[in-house]
Structure 1
Amino acid sequence: MKKSLLLIAGSVSFALVLAGCTLSLAEDVPPPPGYEAPTYLDVPEVIEGAFPASLPNAANGAALYPERCAPCHGDLGLGDGPQASQLPVPPAAIGNFELASQRSPAQWYAMVTNGKIESFMPPFSEGLTDQERWDVVAYAFSLSAQPELIDAGASVYDANCAECHGVNGEGNAEGATDFTSQEVMVGRSDLDIAAATLNGVGSGMPAYGDELDDFSIQAVTAFVRSFSLLPYVDDGLPESVAIEPTTEPTAAIARPDVSETPSADTTEQPQFSDEPLTGEFRGIVANGSGGELPANLKVTLYGYDHTTEAVVLTAQARPDGSFVFRDVELVPERLYFATVDYQGQVYGSDFVIADFGTMEYDLPVTLYESTSDPSGLVVSRMHLFLEFPEPDLMQVVELVVITNPTNLAVVPAGQTMPALEFSLPEGAENLAFQEGELGDRFVTLAGGFGDTRAVLPGSEDYQLLFAYTLPYTRRLEFAQPLDMGAEAVIVFLPADGLTLKSDQLTDGGPQDLGGLVYEMYVGEGLTQGDALAFSLSGRHPLAGGFSISSDTRSLLLGGLGLALALAGAWLWLRERNSIAGPADEEEFETPEDVMDAIIALDEAYERGEVTEADYSSERSELKSILAELLDE
């Protein structure tokens, strides 16, 4: 029982921590199979017409940042927060000068507001006010600001810019940009400002590329930015991160190509020098199963610009497994990784992202001997989230996490055969997967399905999210055969009149997840060949007229304690389902049905599970339906 309590506590508390953290279901990238590219590399979108009503307060943002952002992005914005190592994609290093220079405040504001679930970035449109989001953005930019650079830029500005743009940046001359205008400046990155200074803008703004050196360009860029985003300087920063004065330009804002003059309204990023930057990629291929390395191994290096393949190079590994790719063109933010094809399986390195100043990258690859026997695998955790999207129907969302404690990769026995088999309860329909589909990665089997993806050695490296429906009115006998032993099973059930009974599951008590109460049931030590079984009874939630708000759903799956579930499961479900509102007249056959719905809604409101606005709206609509039924 002690282990059960620890499991419950860890599941819920970890989810609440991750709820404010950058989290990604990334876009698929060809080989190796299942390799995913981090979509946070994409240029963020902006919210049209959005700009702060007043000057963003970086000091206020500094107070919000530790709780909302630092767990993933780190105290200094270097992507090294305490939760960063638990994410499948590194959080963006927003404190990195090179990255921040390429982003506009409007882009980061849109990211904070809307989030990017596929990149494990939650939205803060509800948790933070509009001004607070701008304040956080201001503080995020201050993490990479260099006060000494700003001070140096003041003199450059006074000598070259103040006559037209004004001492305070307000734009004195006709057509001169007002640097204090939030509406104008939030859409411009530091690279945009640097490009305009170098190349000029139209006929009114001269080019300074021949008059100012790189340091002066960077300094005046930083000073111009300070008119609309005041840097936040914390005198309490540890000495180890204090910024030393510099007389050399930072590599981030390399002198853009001055061959093209931007128009006054350009938003394009400046181009870097035409001279290609090259680097070296090296690594060692190791046999994780302990055997000898096969001879004549071919290593392939891939480079991707987002999802576009840009580099494909092949080299032969030396007898000791080492390999090297020299003089490879480096493009900022290009993703690189190496792969080895062995015994029909593709093994890949971690990915690296090219950045300024790094010329050498290490891409070690581990391959394994293989087996088609899955008996050594174990289900570390099996999460079931019971959902009721429409009357007479229950949807089961399952997240299966598998550990391969052996030193062998479990692979399909044949080209069209699965590596793993999964049984489903009798009567299951509408099978769907978060990634892949039947006939592609997955194959149909009698009583279930199979997955053709290999399972590599490692703890909880394999995660599968899928869903299916079962008919449900007032009672259901659930029985799902287990093809592998399960160390832990967690079931979440809406606590609104439904009852679950099982000899295998222990009631973990109600859990408040995002304002809704869910009953959690926990089981341990289920063996292969057993069936996960429970009886479910009670009135269908929609038959009672109560629905779960979509704003709360994204938090509910955080209770599963997995970043994948938190970020991906509900987004995926919302795309698949169109949840009917509670006041659909066709759901109620008699006045008694409506009265039951009103009572259920009243009880939910008293428990704090429904907002006042939703409660008033739904109750009014239910009363209208009741009146119509009474008139019939």
Structure 2
Amino acid sequence: MIYFRRALIVVALLLAGCGGLAGEPAIVATLPPVTPSVSYPATPPDLAVGASVFAGHCTQCHGLSGAGDGALIGSGQGQIGVHPLSFRDAATTAAQTPLEFYNTITDGNIEHFMPPWKDALTDDQRWAVALYTYTLHNAQANVDAGAALTSGQPITLANLPSAENNVKLTDAQLISQVGLPAAFISSLSDQQKNDLAAYLRSLTVANAMHMGLVTSAPQVTAEPAVTPEVTAAPAAAGTGTISGQVTNGTSGAKVPADLKISLYVITTQGASAPMDATVGADGKFSFANIDIRLDQKYVVTTTYNGRAYGSEAKDGDPTTNKVDLPITIYETTDDVSVLTILAWVSQVQLVGNNLQVSDFIQIGNSADRAYSTNVAVDDKRYGGVEVPVPKDALIQSADVSNSRYTIGADGHSVIDTAPVLPGQSYIFQMVYSLPYRGDIQVEQTVPYTLSGAYRLLVNLPGATVTSDLLKSLGPQELSGVQYQSYGTSDPLKAKDSIRYGVQGGVQATSSTAAVINRDQLIPLLLIVAGLVVILTAGMIYWRGRRPLTPEPTTRSNDALVDGLIQQISELDETYNKGSLDEDIYQKRRERLKARLAALIDEDK
């Protein structure tokens, strides 16, 4: 579930133009608040159901026991380099609430490779697996020990906050709201507080005896209702042609005649082995006698100048028996003058004794070449956009296992290995922390010309923010979280600095804590105009321009499919060069194919 997808992710964001971020500051106040629709549990979440859902959907990333050691997690090719936190560790849930777990399961967290499950799981299933994972660090022994602590003052469900309210509370907050004397709670050790919370949570769920238990097969707690078996109609199929035109989007540049094109057919069983063809002198390619089916997707890829490009993944249409898959390739440039920062949003919140800053930067490329330097960051990737972090910052969003971002040689910058395509805007993201003792001055260097607006969103109740550049824009609500917003629309030159100070403030409580993820901040970032933005967690951009019209949410699955296809393509290329053992190659390919099958099943 969480961290479910392979690191190469391509997300297309389709937004209608409505002005705002790059305009006058007052326009920001007209942005409609993004408030999530939450359906609170009508009945106690069933831990047995949660265990079953977890076993069926989550173990490949989170591991059978929930320790974050699933088969897809690791530093090898075909694995996800970002390790999930262990649900077996009480620290994982200490600062979070069941509602936050539920929201992450529902809406996803793409930057951590967590897809949204709101369409794949029912509301009851999402609440069940949220409470199951939230309490997985406990066991029946903890529940019994917690019950013994209250033997002198028995607590029942009637003493607890309502179902809607208790899921908004951390364990520490919950034990303080059941009528127990404050002195008694203060006298408890950390372990006793944990046990007490385990007991209180057990009163709010069904099948509490499953707390902390692991299952490898779906569990049934009641006889399921019998539903008529329905036999699906076979998908229409035909035999036809996959063809396309390779275009070099750089003026005056040509498509090499020997360019190899690889075709992948994606079924419910995963991606087929690639079929290869070579473009003709006119840049066209064709694959004949291909089965064309409604329930299959088709995509072609190519590598040019060491950068990979690909078409959109399209469904088959047996009524025409043709699929057109055009690809655009580009020459590259390392001229930084072609880059312009169109918008920049920084989110600041207090986490422990550190200020955590999440930056989302929209960057445009005015040239007709893809921006990518010739500086290799390793044997497979080239450096691209590079953004420095403030003094004393600890970078949290890039490491040696990250497939897209890496840390600069001096340790004080984040480098993106994804090229910036011509005429497209993309999103650069980085997260870092700064030690905070109640007073800090932050200086952020601007790496490229900033022509749009900068916004600083601070979720630190009681804090004072000072800056000669940034003006107070008042409160800004995102996903029910209240921020104090600051910003400027003044243009800045490369090497200029954005300076601000933060004094005082307290860590937000769980009810006001910022749990905003990239999916919620990017619409604010891109509110300036109707854009088609391509995000990638890998080395390439896959899609060309898309129509400026809304699309169903299932398009995100198409993007994830594209990323997995590219990963398979790179794996095949490495194997064909003799750089990968046969057994390792087959195992990794099967894992990637399994992920593709799961994604395609979700689209049905």
TM-score of the pair, normalised by structure 2: 0.49
Indicate the structure (1 or 2) with the bigger Cα radius of gyration. 1
More helix by share: 1
